[in-house]
């Protein structure tokens, strides 16, 4: 069933043409991601679909009677309302039904009105509405429902806007970067929620695990043309690479970028196997894998930075609190040369404050921070770049540096760095104020990198960047020989770049984990619930539980599952091979894609059940 059709729309701003004659449709229960470079008009298309803007040509036609909700980048909430009042002020059929039911209760003599109201409560399952909306608010960390919107931070307002659209359960949900301002726990909950719910989605997101695990179609706007890929992120990468090879309109370097990304994706464990691989007994196994990942990378960009000395950065018994919130409680760490550490934790645990302490932007309450003489920080903050009116892109970069030195006397000039980060020669002479928000973030990255630091500190560098730019940034950071310290909620980015983690648990507790984010999640899942205390030492071991037993029927099911999983995996590999070799005719691609998705779904379910039985057998 078609919910919405976009028919030949175009949009320009002055002499800048964003897109022309764009057409596509959104059908019931499709989960579509819209992918394009920053500045291509992604947000403009979302605004047009949501009815907040009009196209220069063409039209958007929606099915009569469907409810469309839009989660924009900038939320519009009434500051005078409380969190709970905000929920009840939204357009929600259940709220209307509950109001009519309460009205009928207050007029018991009108039995007909009560009967109608009661039947509507049954029809809309409104009895459970309070439980449902409180569960969603709880998952998004709203516990005081009487708190006023005016008292919320920008990130909390974005989360409340998200909660409101989820609670309203529209027919079509349009989302602009839904994972921004969410911590990792919230992102994983939202990912699971969207995966399970029969909901129709059209969204812009840079979160590639989200694209991989939630979306069943990707629509890409590339150089003004629209391309559709009926599959998830891995499928998109594969087909994108094939399309580039066929068109032969780009250089080998660009083609290689997608080839690298696809190769990395294929080597990653899928979400469904995380628990299977999570029976890890000690940190040394994780640490070995982390180092192997680093050794496997072949450096292509040999940056000739100032060499780090023996003393880099030391934190000795550092303490820090804000009002009643404890951030650091005697934290100690001595950084070693070449370490790549990611910082994760719930919102409000002090991750950004920790970076400001290290860079001496804010003072400590106790202890000391010792910085080595050879250290040159490059600090990418969430505040972004200060725009000067009338300044051109290339002029911004040259304020910070003319080039990055490479080995053997080579160098990357400011212009070449901008080209690497997708600013072509023409774009380099555009005025900065004309850039989109994502393009400004990309420019800020270049401004930090051109200074040739040997210790990069980055606070949410992936926010508002498109997928292509993220890939360019990751390749640059993989080649970067210095120290990296990064706060990010982008799980894919953390998996690809980081070797170890600082896990901020709250109340001043910080743990050092020797692996990337997926390793950490696997380790956390492997711990028996009764022994889920904070990790203190790298040789911490999970104690084995007594062997369990399976019933006769469970034993039989366990054996059948192993056979079924093997057959499904072979069938999946066979179809994927046919896709990669181009053996499927164009008229059969759609059917093959649907079949592949069904196999993947069946495989998910059977592997999850296999894991449940295997854990019962072991514990």
Residues 217-258: tens digit of each pLDDT:
999 998 888 899 999 999 998 888 888 777 664 444 444 565
Alpha-carbon gap, residue 492 to 513, rounded angstroms = 17
Residues 386-406: tens digit of each pLDDT: 878 889 999 999 999 999 888
Residue 121 has pLDDT above 50, yes or no: yes
From the list 86, 70, 71, the residue with the least C-alpha distance to 152 is 86
Q: What is the mean pLDDT of residues 295-319?
A: 80
Amino acid 511: pLDDT? 92
Alpha-carbon gap, residue 240 to 384, rounded angstroms = 31
Q: Which residues are CB-contacts of 478 (< 8 A; sequence separation ≥ 6)?
A: 297, 299, 496, 497
Residue 316 has pLDDT above 90, yes or no: yes
476-492 core/surface letters (b: 16 or more CB in 10 A; e: else):
bbbebebbbbbbbbbbb
Least confident of 112-121, 461-470, 483-492, 589-598: 589-598
**pLDDT level of residue 312 (50, 70, 90 thresholds):** very high
Amino acid 41: pLDDT? 85
Amino acid 135: pLDDT? 85
Amino acid 245: pLDDT? 74
Amino acid 536: pLDDT? 36
Amino acid 217: pLDDT? 94
Alpha-carbon gap, residue 436 to 442, rounded angstroms = 10
Amino acid 57: pLDDT? 94
Residue that has been written with the tokens 């080998």 in this structure = 252
Give the mean pLDDT of the chain.
82
Say if residues 73 and 43 touch (Cβ distance below 8 Å): yes
Q: What is the mean pLDDT of residues 59-64?
A: 93
Q: What is the mean pLDDT of residues 88-93?
A: 76
In Å, how far from its chain's centre is CA 124?
Answer: 33
Q: What is the mean pLDDT of residues 429-454?
A: 90
Q: What is the mean pLDDT of residues 181-196?
A: 88
Q: What is the mean pLDDT of residues 25-41?
A: 90
Residue 547 has pLDDT above 50, yes or no: no
The four Cα atoms 428, 432, 435, 440 give a dihedral, to 10 degrees, of 90
pTM of the complete model beyond 0.75: no
Amino acid 275: pLDDT? 43
Amino acid 256: pLDDT? 58
From the list 11, 5, 43, the residue with the least C-alpha distance to 24 is 5
Amino acid 576: pLDDT? 74
Amino acid 278: pLDDT? 41
Question: 432: helix, coil or strand?
Answer: helix
Residues 125-157: tens digit of each pLDDT: 777 777 778 888 888 888 888 899 998 887 888
Least confident of 104-108, 118-122, 198-202, 533-537: 533-537
């Amino acid at each position: 069933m078609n919910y919405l059709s976009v028919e030949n729309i175009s949009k320009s701003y002055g002499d800048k043409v964003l897109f022309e004659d764009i057409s596509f449709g959104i059908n019931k229960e499709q989960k579509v991601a819209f992918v394009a470079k920053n500045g291509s008009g992604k947000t403009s298309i979302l605004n047009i679909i949501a009815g907040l803007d009009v196209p220069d040509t063409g039209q958007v036609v929606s099915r009569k009677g469907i409810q469309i909700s839009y989660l924009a980048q900038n939320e519009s909430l009434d500051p005078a309302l409380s969190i709970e009042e905000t929920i009840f002020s939204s357009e929600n059929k259940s709220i209307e039904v509950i109001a009519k039911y309460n009205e009928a209760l207050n007029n018991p003599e009108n039995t007909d009105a009560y009967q109608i109201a009661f039947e509507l409560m049954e029809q809309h399952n409104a009895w459970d509405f309070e439980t449902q909306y409180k569960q969603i608010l709880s998952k998004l960390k709203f516990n005081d429902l009487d708190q006023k919107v005016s008292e919320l931070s920008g990130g909390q307002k974005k989360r409340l806007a998200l909660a409101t659209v989820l609670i309203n359960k529209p027919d079509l949900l349009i989302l602009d970067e839904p994972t921004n301002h969410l911590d990792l726990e919230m992102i994983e909950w939202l990912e699971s929620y969207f995966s399970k719910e029969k909901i129709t989605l059209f969204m812009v997101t840079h979160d590639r695990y989200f694209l991989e695990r939630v979306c069943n179609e990707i629509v890409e706007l590339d150089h003004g043309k629209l391309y559709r890929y009926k599959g998830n992120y891995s499928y998109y990468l594969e087909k994108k690479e094939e399309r580039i090879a066929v068109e032969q309109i780009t250089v080998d370097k660009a083609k290689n970028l997608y080839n690298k990304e696809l190769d990395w994706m294929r080597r990653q464990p899928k979400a469904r196997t995380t628990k299977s691989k999570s029976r890890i007994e000690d940190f040394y196994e994780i640490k070995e894998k982390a180092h192997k990942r680093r050794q496997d990378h072949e450096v292509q960009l040999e940056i000739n930075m100032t060499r780090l000395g023996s003393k880099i950065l030391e934190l000795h018994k550092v303490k820090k609190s804000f009002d009643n919130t404890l951030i650091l409680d005697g934290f100690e760490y001595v950084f070693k040369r070449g370490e790549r550490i990611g910082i994760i934790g719930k919102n409000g645990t002090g991750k950004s404050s920790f970076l400001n302490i290290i860079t001496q932007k804010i003072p400590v309450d106790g202890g000391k921070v010792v910085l080595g003489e050879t250290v040159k920080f490059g600090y990418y903050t969430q505040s972004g770049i200060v725009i000067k009116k009338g300044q051109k892109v290339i002029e911004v970069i040259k304020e910070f540096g003319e080039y990055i030195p490479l080995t053997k006397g080579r160098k990357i000039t400011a212009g070449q760095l901008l080209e690497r980060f997708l600013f072509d020669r023409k774009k380099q002479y555009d005025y900065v104020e004309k850039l989109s928000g994502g393009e400004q973030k990309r420019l800020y990255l270049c401004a930090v990198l051109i200074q040739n630091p040997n210790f990069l500190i980055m606070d949410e560098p992936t926010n508002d960047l498109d997928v292509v730019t993220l890939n360019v940034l990751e390749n640059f950071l993989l080649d970067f020989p210095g120290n990296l310290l990064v706060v990010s909620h982008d799980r894919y980015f953390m998996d690809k770049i980081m070797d170890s983690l600082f896990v901020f648990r709250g109340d001043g507790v910080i743990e050092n984990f020797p692996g990337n984010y997926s390793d950490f999640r696997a380790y956390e899942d492997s711990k028996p619930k009764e022994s889920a205390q904070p990790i203190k030492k790298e040789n911490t071991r999970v104690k084995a539980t007594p062997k369990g037993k399976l019933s006769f029927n469970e034993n039989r099911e366990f054996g059948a599952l192993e056979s079924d999983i093997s057959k499904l995996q072979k069938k999946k590999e066979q179809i994927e091979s046919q896709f990669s070799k181009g053996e499927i005719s164009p008229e059969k691609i759609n059917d093959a894609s649907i079949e592949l998705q069904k196999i993947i779904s069946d495989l998910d379910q059977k592997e999850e059940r296999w894991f449940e039985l295997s854990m019962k057998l072991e514990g």
